[in-house]
Chain A
Amino acid sequence: MNERIMIVDDDPAVRYTVQEVLRGANLSAIAVESGRACLEELRNGFRGVILLDIMMPEMDGWDTLEAMKREGLSEGNIVCMLTAVISPSAELETLKDDVLDYVRKPFDPDGLIATAKEYLSYLRTVPEGDGYEGEDKA
């Protein structure tokens, strides 16, 4: 699998923009429109950096995170929450160990690229058999 970044956002404009910004930095990303679609990708084997929108209809970012934990799909993924609000919801408090970063909309493109590269570098150095498989050669 080449795609090592997944954008989860119900807004097609956000999905398109983030994907294009990352593509400009030679970072390949897949984009899905809902928490359910994110879970489906995870069940199909996606492991990487997940840029997860908080405010989504039906299943928001927190619900998605909790479902990931429940189904054992968290291991091997780095989750960064995306949101327009300045301070995250108190719900994050119980999921602090699972959310490594918090990226505010609107995005600063350079900051977004730096964030993605930063966390891809973490995944590159995860010891084999410790929740992540594969080596990023990008």
Chain B
Amino acid sequence: MNIIVIGASTGGPKALRSLFEFLPRLDAAIVLVQHMPRFLNESFRRVLAERTLMDVSLAEPGQMLEHGVVFVAPSEFHLVLNDNRRIDLVRGVKVNYVCSSVDVTMLSLRPRGEDSFLGIILTGMAADGADGIRHIKNLGGLTFVQNQMTAAVYDMPHSALLTGAVDFEGSPKAIRERLVEKFGCIQTVSSPAAESTPGVEGG
């Protein structure tokens, strides 16, 4: 299984809008941790779903990862991957001052068969996700961060960069292009993007 974990905080919704704009149905599962107030979870999911051909789901306990699907971590829970497949939601103490924590999700990944991993850190304050990026690199995965020019707050990408474990730094758009190049697409029956014409945002 191909597993992508994306972490974002302050400024994340705009970066993610750019990253997900016209994103095809990737041959990979995406787990997305965006620090945000709980009441925005569902509208955040809907806004993302309007941008991409991937299914976008607010993660629920017991869900199994699936290629072509984005699983959004609900606020006030840490999203933990059991055996790289099953989603557990843990209502625990804050880690890096937040719950959901990017690090908690990334650090729950384990070596397993031919699973491949990719970690992405986007705009945000402080250092959540840096330990996770190092972990993903140690698992043999790829690691991307948002560049300073496009990040509303560069601290999180910069902290990840300082681990020395980052493979690529670029705009959300450039990251999207790399994802498509790396994982390719699943054939889809319907094409929501062809039915509507969402605005294009530079990244």
* Chain B 96-131 per-residue mask, 1 if CB under 8 angstroms from chain A, else 0: 011100000000000000000000000011101000
Q: By the criterion of a CB under 8 Å from any partner CB, how many residues of chain B are at the interface?
A: 30
* Smallest CB gap from A89: residue in B: B125
Residue in B36, B97, B126 whose CB lies within 8 Å of A100: B36
Chain A positions 25 through 64: 1 when the CB is less than 8 Å from some CB of chain B, otherwise 0: 0000000000000000000000000000000000000000
Size of interface on A: residues with Cβ below 8 Å to B: 33
Is there contact, CB below 8 Å, between A122 and B43? yes
With A100-B10, A122-B13 known as contacts, the answer to whether A94 contacts B97 (CB < 8 A) is: yes
**Chain B residue nearest to A130 in the complex (CB):** B39
A126 nearest CB neighbor, chain B only? B43
- Which residues of chain B are within 8 angstroms of A132 by Cβ–Cβ distance? 39
A93-B97, A94-B97, A130-B42 are known contacts. Are A118 and B125 too (CB-CB below 8 A)? no
Interface string of A80-112 (1 = CB under 8 A from B): 010000011010111011111111000000000
Interface of A is mostly: mixed
Complex: how many Å from CA A94 to CA B198? 35
Contact of B9 with A by CB under 8 A = yes
Determine if A96 and B37 form an interchain contact, defined as CB atoms under 8 angstroms apart.
no
Known: A115-B14, A122-B47. A127 touches B153 (CB 8 A): no
How far in angstroms is the closest Cβ of chain B from A96?
5
- Residues of A bordering B, CB below 8 Å: 74-76, 78, 81, 87-88, 90, 92-94, 96-103, 114-115, 118-119, 121-127, 130-132
Instruction: Please report B residues at the A interface, Cβ cutoff 8 Å.
Output: 9-14, 17, 35-37, 39-40, 42-44, 46-47, 75, 97-99, 124-126, 128, 152-155, 201
